[in-house]
Amino acid sequence: MTRLWTILGVVAAAVSAIELTFELPDNANQCFYEEIKAGEDVLFEFQVVTGGQYDVDLTVEDPHGKILYKGQKKQYDSVNFKTESPGEYKACFSNEFSTFSHKVVYMDWQIGDGNHSGPKGAAAAQAHAVAANTLDTLATSIGDKLRVVDDYQTHHRLREATGRKRAEELNERVLIWSLGQTAIVVVIGILEVCLLRSFFSDKRSRYGGY
């Protein structure tokens, strides 16, 4: 059992994840940087949780300025790539096309352990050789499934937050529409009463003249 938990710890350490939820103001551009080694498998995901039309622009670049991904007015998307060179990778979110509404955006860097040379690569190869038995394979499978479950839970929480925000906005619009209709009915009623009173006042003034 101790060995199983040790293996699970090694599997969990093989993939690092950086999750962040942040506010992106209107007419704003925000960039996030991540130091990544060469040969890493990277999965980058994002989703607009609330705000405006639930869309945002995104550009992902490598350390040399090469554009790895460019999306315009996306609500959500995922980017898979393998790093070719070590350095600082950049993800820039833009809300410059929006004049009034700010957005709440969720982003997630998932960086896997690639094949490396040198002592770390040798240690990884040795670890994979040790993990050849059934127990190690099972532990690796459990670790992968746990990460999948965690991803599903995160996505479901984001969808729930987005749906709740839309329901609140719809409820607010219905309330404003109802109040507007009520105000219009009251104004029309007051105008009708004033009009009817003016008719009777005209009749009394004509009879009084005779």
Length of the chain: 210
pLDDT exceeds cutoff 90 at 89:
yes
Closest listed residue to residue 81, CA positions, set 109, 56, 57, 58 = 109
Residue with the larger pLDDT of the pair 174 and 157: 174
Q: What ranges in 63-133 are assigned the alpha helix state H? A: 118-130
CA 60 to chain centroid, in Å, comes to: 16
Average pLDDT of 160-172? Answer: 79
pLDDT exceeds cutoff 80 at 81:
yes
**pLDDT band with cut points at 50, 70 and 90 for residue 94:** very high
Looking at residue 157, its pLDDT comes to 75
Looking at residue 122, its pLDDT comes to 47
Residue with the larger pLDDT of the pair 53 and 153: 53
Q: Domains (ranges, CATH) in the chain?
A: 2-164 (2.60.120.380)
DSSP code of residue 75: S
Closest listed residue to residue 150, CA positions, set 65, 43, 40 = 43
For residues 210 and 189, what is the distance between their CA atoms, to the nearest angstrom? 33
Answer for the pair 52, 98: CB distance below 8 angstroms, yes or no: yes
User: pLDDT over 70 for what percent of the chain?
Assistant: 73
